[in-house]
Chain A
Amino acid sequence: MNDTWQDDSLVAMRSKSEEAGQLTSTERTVSILGGGLSVGLGLRRQGIGRLAYLALGSMLISRGAMGYCGLKKALAPDSYEQDMAAAHQWKRAKVTSRSVTINKPREEVFRFWKDFSNLARFMKHIERIDVIDARRSHWVASPASGQHLEWNAEITDEIENEYIAWQAEENADIHQAGWVSFHDAPQGRGTVVQAVFTYEPPAGRVGHTVARLLGKDPSSLAGDDLRRLKQLLEIGEITTNAARPGAERGGR
């Protein structure tokens, strides 16, 4: 898994074939029978209920007849998630990834990330990261995330100015790994930072908190966090429309 970052095929690896949405013969039969039942129920009713049952029924019948379901495809893990689950010996893996271009030299961006205590400055759901030694760090989740969570992570791989990978220690409450790569953008346009966060979706209350922490909403984690990283490095502050310190005006 360590050489994944070296090719630019993350987008390809994270794509899903049409096969991911193919239904098995049992699923097709169940879908057609369920659809028939729904149409039958609909025909006995009046008004809105009739329409809803008929719509559901015809959707299920056509899904079964075609043998394909867009929802099934959307819920299926992509091939990179399958690889990650296998590599970490997890049941399942969720992956969120984003890239951002930062108008600063690669060495400077790498140095900022390498000091893990800086990550808490732009990761919304992380309150604090204490660096223990050259490889290990202690992460504290923000209380706003729901439940108090702390864990240790260690750097598993690193190439100066190019790549850092880390993962939560074996006995941690959460199963999480991540890597970030640093490339020169073309013609002096700064540094492309590609960050990938992977976790095993857990169950229960802890599960909800971890999901929120690590990417239930992938855009908020990867996108907003990397945008704040870009702001810190490019302009030295986090952009705000607050009229006074602490007086945020909500977004929409």
Chain B
Amino acid sequence: MRALTWQGTDKLSVETIPDPEIVNARDVIVRVTMSSVCGSDLHLLNGYVPTMKPGDVLGHEFLGEIVDVGSGVTGLSKGDRVITVSIIGCGHCEPCRRQEFSCCDNSNPNPATTETLYGYACGGIFGYSHAFGGYAGSHATYVRVPFADVNVFKVPEGISDEQALFVSDAVPTGYFGADIADIEPGDTVAVWGCGGVGQMAMRSAYLMGAERVIGIDRFPDRLALAKEKAGAEVLDYTRVNVHEALVELTGGRGPDRCIDCVGLEAHTTGVEQLYDTTKQTLRLHTERGAALRQAIRACRKGGTVSVLGVYAGVMDKFPMGAIVNKALSVRSGQQPGQRYIECIFEHIQKGELDPAYLLTHPMSLEDSPEGYAMFRDKDRECLRAVFMP
């Protein structure tokens, strides 16, 4: 089969590799029909996640058709049109029983790295480095999916391929971020980052009762989509002082809930950007935390900061004082999508949520290295390049 492989920092190539097969009884093999890029892949491309190996297949957000089913799988059959949650749960350990699927005890076959870094091993993720399990990703003709009864969902009638694809990752990530922000009726929710996940977090915030949603970014096309599709007010951080603008927009109270959809390669302006970039380049810290710092400072007293952006290691100048003295709650996590899929499909069927507009650039898998370059450079107003193997 053909697959997009990582060969080194900023080096991608499409290669022919052997097809996957059923290994364990609860596996299925999915023939991929659509596979999306994700902002989190850029951290792998840029070399900020050290456990990548040449030949690793990228991609974790995909739609496809089941072509083979293990002997222990119930409720799924060949020919089913399905999406797969990008973060793998086993369904039987205590975290999975508590519906915290991304904290699965059993799904990561390489537990040592995250156990050393974070104290305990984290769940496995498709195409997302050896620290997160070393699973082959979805930018390929076929994918082997373990624990299919827990991670694979049939797409209901009436939902298009373009809508279903993003229920694999971008939608549940945004939905989870809004959910853990504990939004109450009347709340103002500020979202840093108007990429795919940010757009979904904004829409989800309205579904959960937010009165106002404010999106923050610097790319005019993304700000325009946030306004038009997600119904947000928008701030361009290169044009306004974000903190002052948020204070002004909220009658001096500050946003009640702040959601960071940016992560460890944040951009800002001025001295902070220079300081963070220099230290990160010298590997003196791993995270450029401008967006998160700004969110923590802007959040109202007693409010919630929900962190969806990818962070890998340690951040410098983390404003702990603001968290303690303003009594903030900080919530975070990788998405436990299995918890939300049914509910998200319902929102889509009712017309309350439509993620299809995230797909701006359908492409052949053969052109995927070019697709990533375009997505990385935010070229040609690319929000999501999607490969069709």
Shortest distance from the beta carbon of A101 to any chain B beta carbon, whole Å: 7
**B92-117 contact mask (Cβ, 8 Å, vs A): 1 or 0:** 11100100000001111111110000
Q: Does A245 contact B (CB under 8 A)?
A: yes
Shortest distance from the beta carbon of A43 to any chain B beta carbon, whole Å: 34
Q: Does B124 contact A (CB under 8 A)?
A: yes
Query: Which one, B5-13, B23-31, B59-67, B277-285, is touching chain A?
Result: B23-31
Chain B residues with CB under 8 Å of A234's CB are: 90, 92-93, 105-106
Q: Among A227, A236, A241, point to the contact of B135 (Cβ < 8 A).
A: A241
How many A residues touch the partner, as a band?
20 to 34
Interface pair A240/B109, CB less than 8 Å apart: yes
Interface pair A227/B111, CB less than 8 Å apart: yes
State whether A236 and B25 are in contact (beta carbons under 8 Å apart), knowing that A244-B20, A252-B53 are contacts in the complex: yes
State whether A235 and B92 are in contact (beta carbons under 8 Å apart), knowing that A251-B110, A251-B130, A252-B53 are contacts in the complex: yes
Chain B residues with CB under 8 Å of A227's CB are: 111
| CA of A190 to CA of B72, assembled, Å | 24
Least CB separation from B98: chain A residue:
A189
Interface pair B109/A251, CB less than 8 Å apart: yes
Interface pair A244/B23, CB less than 8 Å apart: yes
Q: Does A44 contact B (CB under 8 A)?
A: no
Q: Which chain A residues (206-230) contact chain B, with CB distance < 8 Å?
A: 219, 227, 230
**A179-199 contact mask (Cβ, 8 Å, vs B): 1 or 0:** 000000000011000000000
Interface pair A243/B94, CB less than 8 Å apart: no
Chain B residues with CB under 8 Å of A237's CB are: 24-26
Chain B residues with CB under 8 Å of A75's CB are: none
Least CB separation from B25: chain A residue:
A237
Interface pair B92/A239, CB less than 8 Å apart: no
Shortest distance from the beta carbon of A100 to any chain B beta carbon, whole Å: 9
| CA of A230 to CA of B95, assembled, Å | 13
| CA of A15 to CA of B134, assembled, Å | 36
Chain B residues with CB under 8 Å of A241's CB are: 109-110, 124, 133-136
| CA of A159 to CA of B192, assembled, Å | 58
| CA of A40 to CA of B200, assembled, Å | 68
Q: Does B267 contact A (CB under 8 A)?
A: no
Least CB separation from B90: chain A residue:
A235
| CA of A231 to CA of B146, assembled, Å | 13
Chain B residues with CB under 8 Å of A189's CB are: 94
Shortest distance from the beta carbon of B73 to any chain A beta carbon, whole Å: 12
Least CB separation from B136: chain A residue:
A243
| CA of A191 to CA of B261, assembled, Å | 38
Q: Among B106, B130, B135, point to the contact of A231 (Cβ < 8 A).
A: B106
| CA of A242 to CA of B111, assembled, Å | 15
Interface pair B112/A251, CB less than 8 Å apart: yes
Q: Does A142 contact B (CB under 8 A)?
A: no
| CA of A237 to CA of B53, assembled, Å | 26
Q: Among B91, B108, B144, point to the contact of A239 (Cβ < 8 A).
A: B108
| CA of A231 to CA of B91, assembled, Å | 11
Knowing that A103-B97, A239-B90, A240-B23 touch, tell me 7 more A-B residue pairs with CB under 8 angstroms.
Answer: A101-B94, A103-B94, A190-B94, A236-B72, A239-B108, A241-B134, A243-B23
Q: Name 9 A/B residue pairs within 8 A (Cβ), A-sorted.
A: A231-B106, A234-B106, A236-B25, A240-B24, A242-B23, A243-B20, A251-B110, A252-B130, A252-B131
Q: Which residues of A contact B (CB under 8 A)?
A: 101, 103, 189-190, 219, 227, 230-231, 234-237, 239-245, 247, 249-252
